[in-house]
Amino acid sequence: MADATSSFISPPSICSTAMNANITACSPKIRSMASPFEVMPAELGSAERILALIDVELMVLTLDGTVVYVNERSRHLAGLKPGQEAFRDFADYWMIDPQDVGDTLRKLGSGSTWQALSLRRSNGASAGEVAALRGRGFRTSTAEGPVVHVLIVEDAGRGRQFDEHRQLIRKLNKELAHRRGMERTLTNLLATQKRLHRELMHRVKNNLTLLVSLVTVGKRRCDSELARWQFEQLEQRILSVAKIHQLLDREHETDSVAGDRLLREIGEELARSLAPPTVTLSCDLEPLRLQISQATPLALIVNELVTNAIKHAFPDDRQGQVSLRLAAQDNGCVAVTVADDGIGACEGRPAWRGSGSGIVQALVGQLNGTLTQIPEHGTTWFLTFRPTIGNDPETD
């Protein structure tokens, strides 16, 4: 004998009377009724009265799809009116191919474990809606012997979970759409900012070029040799800064420049404008990127050191070479070397003093670097500083 708890339904909302009812007590009553679907509640057995009142959709079927019992909840959802005879065929309640009914019920009836299924209603106000159900088989004793029936009940919990998941998905989709909108807005703002920054760099470059032209005109009109030299120093310093903005404009960058290209262009410009035919400039520059905040003082430092070497290391048309090197060190620092094979400080070369020396020391301080002079075989200046961005070749 199987009690109603194991034979019919297991939701905790079912009253204890149904949990203790015996399926065999219901089966003879169901079979003996001429029309079991029209029996009034007073004529039903205790288990059937409980099943008729529970708020969970429930039906009992044979393996061939014949409906032997439906409760009031099932009748209501199927659109049956009070007193109307219930449908006897399982396929009349659900949109299911009649050929699939047998396979579905045999699968459910093959064991006593609940199996989930979803069916679309074919009648009533809820026609077309998908119902979350579960079913299992149970064995009843009859005069002809044991018979397997199938119990199908509404899986309200699974239905609620589906609704909750659907609501959660809608909420997440809405949040995702909002975030994508914000991302597009931020992307557009960033693109606008970069465009404006590039436009600013372009205008600064043009303004510096104009300023260089004005200084050049002033230098040509000056009669004093000392004043002309001061104009020339100012011109070269402005050109060094202008080179940075030219590179930014050319590379469509706003934050960093190629340090090797910057120093090469500064060195070549100084050699072209200041070096006599007897003095050459060589460059050995490792590809490194530098932030603008470091590229500007470095450009000015190199301008001062190379200018000083060209002007003072090779008196009396002496032949020689100025070398400019840029390299990354193993400790992560950047090393810049400006060297010449000229007369050196020990052979009467004037000590480097004045505004140029003061400017260089101030610029080295901006880099938080160190500048060392090595007076051997001419003069060598060795500058080291730590870059503010990485220079991994694989990421350049």
Least confident interval from 69-78, 253-262, 328-337, 348-357: 348-357
Q: Bridge partners of 336?
A: 326, 383
What does the pLDDT read at residue 107?
Answer: 92
Those residues whose C-beta lies under 8 Å from the C-beta of residue 29, and which sit 6 or more positions away, are 36, 44, 45, 48
Residue 47 pLDDT: 63
User: Between residues 197 and 38, which one has the greater pLDDT?
Assistant: 197
Query: Given a cut of 70, is residue 267 above it in pLDDT?
Result: yes
**Given pLDDT bands bounded at 50, 70 and 90, which one contains residue 356?**
low
| Whole-number pLDDT of residue 20 | 34
Query: Where do the CATH 3.30.450.20 domains begin and end in the chain?
Result: 4-154
CB of 363 within 8 A of CB of 392?
Answer: no
Average pLDDT score, the chain: 80
Query: Residue 40's pLDDT is what?
Result: 36
Can you give the C-alpha Rg of the chain in angstroms? 47
Q: Where in the chain is the domain with CATH 3.30.565.10?
A: 277-396
CATH of domain 4-154: 3.30.450.20
| Overall average pLDDT of the 193-221 stretch | 82
pLDDT tens sequence across 277-324: 999 999 999 999 999 899 999 999 999 999 999 988 898 889 999 999
Start-to-end C-alpha separation, the chain: 80
According to DSSP, the residues that pair with 133 across neighbouring strands are: 117, 154
For residue 190, the SS3 value is: helix
Tell me the average pLDDT across 19-31: 34
pLDDT, mean of residues 261-268: 93
Of 259, 227, 242, nearest to 367 by C-alpha is 259
Mean pLDDT of 248-252: 79
**Alpha helical stretches, state H, 222-323:** 225-251, 259-274, 292-312
Q: Would you say residue 394 has pLDDT above 80?
A: no
Percent of the chain past pLDDT 70, that is, above it, reads 80
More confident residue, 115 or 199: 115
The correct CATH number of 277-396 out of 3.30.565.10, 3.40.720.10, 3.40.50.1980, 3.30.70.3270 is 3.30.565.10
Does 396 score more than 80 pLDDT? no
Closest CA to 345 of 301, 378, 303: 378
Mean of pLDDT values over 127-144: 88
**Between 266 and 52, the higher pLDDT residue:** 266
Residue 207 has a pLDDT of 84
Q: Which helix (H) or strand (E) holds 214?
A: helix 156-221
